[in-house]
Amino acid sequence: MTSEAADPTEAVGTIAPAADPGFLQRHGATIEYILIPGAALAGALVVFGIFVAMFGKNPLDLYFYMYYGAFGTWFSWQNTLTRAAPLILTALCTALPAQLGMVIIGGEGALLVGALSATSAALLLQSMPPLIVQIAMVIAGVIGGGLWIMLAGALRQYRGVNETISSLLLVYIGLAILNHLVEGAMRDPASLNKPSTREIGAANMIGSIPGTDVHWGLVFGLIAAIAAYILIYHTVFGFAARVAGGNIRAAKIVGLGVSKLILTICFLAGGAAGLAGMVEVAAVQGRTNANLAAGYGFTGILVAFLARQNPLAIIPVAILLGGISASGGLLQRRLGLPDASVLVLQGIIFVFVLASDALYGRIGFLKGKS
């Protein structure tokens, strides 16, 4: 991974200008968007290597097991992709509002509420054919999560409440509601040690993509990311959103309905995270319980920032971070690192990525002569 990030520097720096002098001027910005986060990632891996070396572990072993646990075998690839699916969806929860200049960090809450709504829908419609139940679960998950984040957006628009703080508070409130229902009204009396709702039933699970152990949630994620990309960059609505994100006063002057934009974008953002909750229920857990609060919502924030809030870039970044979390188990078994090491690495990456924001437009050889 380190060499991957270092190589393009040389290739671009030496070969490209000679071959085509205009190349850098036309593609400089795109190259920057790949080069700088790549370098930040490499820097973070080096610092993490030093960190584990302080605890007497060999950093080269670390890199090897990370690669092996994430992308080394077909088994680890499947594990990685399974984890990438919810990350794509929760990253959209941060990336979509970011187009409007809003910082939403409550994807975890929307995921939990989405999971709860999807489970409720499945339990209510148990006598229906599986396809109907699954469609109802998708709709319920999207609406549940969507309304949850729309609440944060509405509070920002109509009451001036800071959306970063309110969306995070809503995570804790969502978790409390989930625990309350799972241990009370919706509890399956048979779940003794781990209070859970009743199972949605094996027939209603969405299953795996044929030939793999990767569930259909990955396809949901890919479709959602591509749809979000088209919405933001190729529709009038997305253009309006980006105008409002760039300059809210200009948007109001030209008569854009800013309230409607904020509410719609927040609904879609929360809907994506709610869909992640539905996927976790319908493809992995089969029921709702506290296991769902596995931190996908928080890692999704990192994915969105690393992808620079671009819905398409979210896909590879989510796979990369899915890989890092997939390798956590191997790091624990082979190197004896605590399970929190993945969190530490994610934190270091996040810090490096944000610090690297200072580099844009400052790399000498990428500056055009215009």
Partner 1 sequence: MADGSIGLWTVPLAVLGGAIRVSTPFLFVSLGECITERSGRINLGLEGTLVMGAMSAYGISYLTGSPWLGVLAAGITGALLGALHAGICSLPRVNDVAVGIALMLFGTGLAFYLGKPLIEPTAPRLPAIDFGWWSDIPQVRAALRVNALFLIGIALAPILYWAFRTTRWGLLIRTAGESSDAARAMGHSVLLIRLRATMVGGFLAGIGGSFLSLFYPGSWNEGLSSGQGITAVALVIFARWDPLLCLWASLAFGGAAALGPALQSVGVTSGYHLFNAAPYILTLAIMIITCSPKRTLTGAPAELSITR
In the bound state with partner 1, the residue whose beta carbon lies nearer, of 69 and 107, is 107
Q: In the complex, what is the shortest distance from the CB of residue 362 to partner 1, in angstroms, rounded to a whole number?
A: 9
In the bound state with partner 1, the residue whose beta carbon lies nearer, of 175 and 284, is 175
173 lies in the binding site for partner 1 (CB under 8 A): yes
- Which span sits near partner 1 by CB under 8 A: 29-37, 110-118, 224-232, 350-358? 350-358
- List the interface residues with partner 1, window 257-316 (CB under 8 A): 298, 301-302, 305
168 lies in the binding site for partner 1 (CB under 8 A): yes
- List the interface residues with partner 1, window 183-222 (CB under 8 A): 183-184
46 lies in the binding site for partner 1 (CB under 8 A): no
91 lies in the binding site for partner 1 (CB under 8 A): no
Q: In the complex, what is the shortest distance from the CB of residue 161 to partner 1, in angstroms, rounded to a whole number?
A: 5
Residue linked to tokens 């469609």? 135
Query: What's the chain's length in residues?
Result: 370
- Three-class SS of residue 196? strand
In the bound state with partner 1, the residue whose beta carbon lies nearer, of 124 and 340, is 340
Encoding tokens for residue 40?
Answer: 């930040």
177 lies in the binding site for partner 1 (CB under 8 A): yes
Answer for the pair 122, 201: CB distance below 8 angstroms, yes or no.
yes
Q: Taking the C-alpha atoms of 103, 105, 106 and 107 in order, what is their torsion angle to the nearest 10 degrees?
A: 110
- Which span sits near partner 1 by CB under 8 A: 33-41, 173-181, 199-207, 248-256? 173-181
Among 74, 172, 239, 365, binds partner 1 (CB under 8 A): 172
Burial of 276 (0-12, 13-18, 19+ CB in 10 A): buried
Among 6, 194, 340, 367, binds partner 1 (CB under 8 A): 340
Answer for the pair 213, 82: CB distance below 8 angstroms, yes or no.
yes
In the bound state with partner 1, the residue whose beta carbon lies nearer, of 230 and 359, is 359
Q: Is the dihedral of CA 184, 190, 191, 196 positive or negative?
A: negative
Cα separation, 359 vs 361, whole angstroms = 6
- Which span sits near partner 1 by CB under 8 A: 24-32, 62-70, 177-185, 262-270? 177-185
165 lies in the binding site for partner 1 (CB under 8 A): yes
112 lies in the binding site for partner 1 (CB under 8 A): no
343 lies in the binding site for partner 1 (CB under 8 A): yes
Cα separation, 200 vs 215, whole angstroms = 16
Burial of 163 (0-12, 13-18, 19+ CB in 10 A): buried
Residue-wise burial string across 30-45, b where 16 or more C-beta atoms lie within 10 A, e elsewhere: ebbeebbbbbbbbbbb
166 lies in the binding site for partner 1 (CB under 8 A): yes
In the bound state with partner 1, the residue whose beta carbon lies nearer, of 284 and 290, is 290
| DSSP codes of every residue in 203-233 | GGS--B-TTSS-BTHHHHHHHHHHHHHHHHH
Give residue 309's region: left, alpha or beta (phi > 0; psi -120 to 50): left
For the chain, the farthest-separated pair of C-alpha atoms sits apart, in whole angstroms, at: 72
Q: In the complex, what is the shortest distance from the CB of residue 312 to partner 1, in angstroms, rounded to a whole number?
A: 21
247 lies in the binding site for partner 1 (CB under 8 A): no
132 lies in the binding site for partner 1 (CB under 8 A): no
Residues interacting with partner 1, by CB under 8 A? 103, 105, 155, 157-162, 164-166, 168-173, 175-177, 179-180, 183-184, 298, 301-302, 305, 338, 340-348, 350-351, 353-355, 357-358, 360
